[in-house]
């Protein structure tokens, strides 16, 4: 049976409740990873969850990604998104990334099991968000978050059923309820994915430089 690994170092705050609908008032002050695991268990006792109550980075992030069938990035900051992307590129895992701000939602799908794939860093090469805009500082219409989350869940189910994910950037506009679909071009100079080759073995940057 499969298992969900839920990683989050945050605590449930009252302002989360309108958009992070897995949490209840009784979860306020609790660790999000633990509270989410408990809510999922209450929904369906057959769900297997492991809560990781800290921000995954470095070796721990790399290890968790290496063990996963796929990764859903639901984070709210650029540093985490870049680190998760790099780990997925390294371990050739599908990545389904979601983000939301204001009335706009974004869904990005990558399948690093396939060769020559662009990555998140090709699209957003900056390591830091220009104005540190996230839901906390800029606000978000609550249902936009749920809409993006459901789209991520749909792509995750298709991936689990064996579908190869297309590398696509979807822009959801809550004002018009439109979903714009755009291809993600590969940056040949991308610092994260440019060292991957189509040969049977990985070629490191050091090898290429020789």
Pair of tokens at residue 67: 């063990």
Catalytic residue among 88, 135, 190, 193: 135
Contact 94, 72 (CB under 8 A): no
The closest residue (CB) to Zn ion is 190
Task: For the CB of residue 55, give the shortest distance to Zn ion in the complex, in Å.
Answer: 23
Which residue number, 22 or 165, has a Cβ lying nearer to Zn ion?
165
What is the C-alpha radius of gyration for the chain, rounded to an integer number of angstroms?
Answer: 18
Task: For the CB of residue 117, give the shortest distance to Zn ion in the complex, in Å.
Answer: 8
Neighbours of 1 (CB within 10 A): 5
Q: Could you give the CA distance from residue 104 to residue 148 in angstroms, rounded to a whole number?
A: 9
Neighbours of 114 (CB within 10 A): 14
| Share in percent of the chain as helix, strand, coil (round to 5) | 35, 20, 45
**DSSP 8-state code for residue 128:** S
Which residue number, 9 or 129, has a Cβ lying nearer to Zn ion?
129
Which residue number, 18 or 115, has a Cβ lying nearer to Zn ion?
115
Task: For the CB of residue 194, give the shortest distance to Zn ion in the complex, in Å.
Answer: 7
Which residue number, 81 or 121, has a Cβ lying nearer to Zn ion?
121
Q: Which residues bind Zn ion (CB under 5 A)?
A: 119, 121-122, 190, 192-193
Q: Is 135 a catalytic residue?
A: yes
Task: For the CB of residue 1, give the shortest distance to Zn ion in the complex, in Å.
Answer: 34
Catalytic machinery residues: 135
């Amino acid at each position: 049976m499969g298992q969900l690994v839920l990683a989050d170092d945050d605590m449930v705050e009252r302002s989360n409740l309108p958009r992070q609908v897995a949490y209840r008032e009784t979860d306020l002050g609790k660790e999000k990873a633990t509270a989410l695991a408990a809510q999922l268990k209450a929904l369906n006792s057959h769900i297997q969850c492991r809560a990781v109550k800290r921000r995954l980075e470095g070796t721990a992030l790399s290890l968790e990604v290496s063990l996963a069938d796929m990764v859903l990035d639901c984070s709210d900051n650029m540093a985490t998104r870049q680190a998760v992307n790099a780990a997925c590129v390294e371990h050739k895992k599908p990545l389904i990334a979601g983000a939301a701000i204001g009335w706009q939602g974004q869904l990005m799908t990558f399948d690093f099991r396939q060769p020559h794939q662009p990555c998140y860093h090709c699209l957003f090469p900056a390591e830091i968000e220009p104005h540190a805009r996230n839901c906390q500082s800029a606000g978000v219409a609550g249902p936009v978050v749920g809409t993006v989350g459901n789209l991520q869940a749909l792509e995750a189910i298709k991936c689990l059923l064996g579908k190869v994910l297309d590398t696509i950037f979807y822009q959801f506009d809550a004002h018009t309820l439109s979903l714009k679909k755009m291809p993600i071009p590969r940056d040949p100079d991308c610092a994260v994915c440019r060292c991957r080759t189509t040969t049977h073995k990985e070629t490191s940057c050091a090898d290429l430089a020789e």
